Amino acid sequence: MRATGCCRARRHRTMPRSPRWNASASCWHCRARQGDHVRAHLSIARAYLGIAMKEREAALALIDRHGLGDAFAAELDELRSTFNRELTREQKLAAAWREATADLINAQRCKAVLAQLMKSGSLSKSGYAELCALSPATASKHLVTLAERGLLVQTGKGPATRYVLPA
């Protein structure tokens, strides 16, 4: 008899399909097994990333020790671009914002602002002031500074002014 459930577990082979059976649904033990597989893959990825970072640091130490910076500049740039290519847009934005906003707002507020921008697509002066617990005048100065630094783009005028992430 062929399996009719979500897995090849013995108890599923004889279970009749109910009219409400969903082919994409899975039983608790299959979901648990899938969760274990995901955890294993993430653990392996973390280990490889740790190894890659240690190897990179060892290579940088050798380059510094022997004064070979110019000879390996292209390879280091290629490695950096590989790492950067793998980052998501959100991670890239978060890194850029952390660096560029350290003098304006703390990291927690920076995350809140980015989350709001990713969620709604835009931010007003009053929304920024509320998120960062600032006065409207300070919020306005911050938003102009962020736009000057290329982190935001101003759209609209007057009360309709909104700030969006650059394309």
> How do the pLDDT tens digits run along the chain, 167 residues long?
444 445 555 554 444 554 444 444 456 556 677 778 888 888 898 888 889 888 988 998 999 899 888 889 899 888 888 877 767 777 888 888 988 888 988 888 998 999 899 888 899 999 999 999 999 999 999 999 999 999 999 999 998 999 999 88
Which residue range(s) make up the domain with 159?
A: 89-164
Q: How many folded domains does the chain comprise?
A: 2
Task: Establish if 22 belongs to a structural domain.
Answer: no
Same domain, 62 and 108: no
0.75 surpassed by pTM:
no
Same domain, 94 and 43: no
- 120-138: burial string, b at 16+ Cβ within 10 Å, e else: eebbbbebbbebbebeeee
Same domain, 47 and 93: no
Q: Which two tokens stand for residue 76?
A: 């280091």
SS3 at position 134:
coil
